[in-house]
């Protein structure tokens, strides 16, 4: 019997690695999609390649969608990545990339339909996160409803699920899960504004959420070299 298939959105960060490993542990065959959308932290693409290998995915596609043509985000080089921002501030930060997850999920949906995958997997998290609207459970449910109407698969009753296994986990719990699964987080890259050689800045939201997660999990981050 063939394994069920899933398309995994793979950024190169620790969340999508963990989400993919959880799916693999659940018996899924993985197809990994990484999008070069014009992110200033293109270092994460190299990490995604390593993670795809570590996950043993069937195929890893890297696709260009140059959202930097539009600008509108510090992650697209439009303004500075904020440093040491209060993480409990209830505003959507300037690192928000307009419609990013909708674009990523849409492309994953197309691929899922082609390979006959019953699921798209996204490593979003709505607890220790930056407050992006397209990481919330109600958004993911709306995308799944849309997918049923959008596709031949949906019309023919073969729905494509949107799975976000980390959505309700804290960063510490995500890291604990990955640790239990034996993942090497040294392969991953999280920083929005890396220095020479891809060195994490330690001060952007993504670095700080990661550091907080490792600290709370009582573990050492193997990507941080003294």
By CB under 8 A, name the binding residues for its own copies. 61, 63-67, 69-72, 92, 96-103, 105-107, 109-111, 113-115, 133-134, 136, 138-139, 142-143, 145-147, 149-152, 154-155
Nearer to its own copies by Cβ, of 18 and 73: the residue is 73
Shortest Cβ distance from residue 50 to its own copies (Å)? Answer: 21
Say how many Å lie between the first and final Cα of the chain, rounded.
47
- Rounded to a whole number of angstroms, the minimum distance from the CB of residue 42 to its own copies is 17
Q: Which is nearer to its own copies, 146 or 224 (CB)?
A: 146
Q: Least separation, in Å, of the C-beta of 169 and its own copies?
A: 21
- How near is the Cβ of 71 to its own copies at its closest, in Å? 6
Beta carbon nearer to its own copies, 82 or 213: 82
DSSP string for 15-62: HHHHHHHHHHHTT-EEEEEEEE-S-S-THHHHHHHHHHHHHT-SEEEE
Pick the closer one to its own copies by CB: 154 or 200: 154
Which residues in 74-89 are b (16+ Cβ under 10 Å) and which e? bbbeeeebbeebeeee
Give the distance from CA 206 to its chain's centroid.
Answer: 12
The neighbour count for residue 46, using CB atoms within 10 Å, is 13
Nearest distance in Å: CB 160, its own copies: 9
Instruction: Compute the distance between CA of residue 86 and CA of residue 38 in angstroms, rounded to an integer.
Output: 26
Query: CB of residue 144 vs its own copies: minimum separation in angstroms?
Result: 10
Q: In what order do the strands lie in the sheet with 59-64?
A: 59-64, 29-36, 5-9, 119-121, 161-163
**167 or 187, CB closer to its own copies?**
167
The closest of 40, 65, 51 to 16, measured between CA atoms, is: 51
> Residue 71 has what DSSP assignment?
-
Which residue's CB is nearer to its own copies, number 102 or number 170?
102
């Amino acid at each position: 019997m063939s394994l069920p298939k899933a398309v995994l959105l793979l950024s190169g960060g620790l969340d999508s690695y963990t989400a993919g490993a959880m799916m693999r542990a659940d018996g899924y065959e993985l197809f990994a999609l990484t999008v070069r959308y014009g992110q200033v932290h293109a270092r994460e693409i190299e990490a995604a390649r390593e993670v795809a290998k570590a996950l043993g995915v069937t195929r890893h596609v890297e696709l260009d969608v140059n959202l930097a043509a539009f600008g509108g985000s510090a992650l697209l080089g439009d303004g500075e990545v904020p440093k040491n921002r209060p993480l409990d501030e209830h505003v959507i930060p300037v690192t928000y990339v307009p419609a990013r997850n909708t674009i990523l999920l849409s492309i994953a949906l197309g691929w899922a339909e082609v390979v006959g995958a019953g699921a798209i997997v996204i490593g979003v998290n709505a607890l220790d996160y930056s407050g992006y609207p397209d990481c919330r459970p109600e958004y993911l449910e709306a995308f799944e409803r849309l997918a049923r109407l959008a596709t031949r698969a949906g019309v023919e009753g073969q729905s494509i699920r949107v799975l976000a296994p980390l959505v309700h986990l804290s960063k510490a719990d995500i890291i604990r899960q990955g640790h239990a699964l034996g993942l090497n987080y040294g392969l991953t890259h999280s920083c929005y504004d890396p220095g020479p050689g891809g060195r994490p800045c330690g001060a952007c939201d993504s670095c700080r959420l990661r550091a907080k997660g490792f600290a709370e999990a009582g573990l050492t981050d193997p990507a941080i070299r003294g």
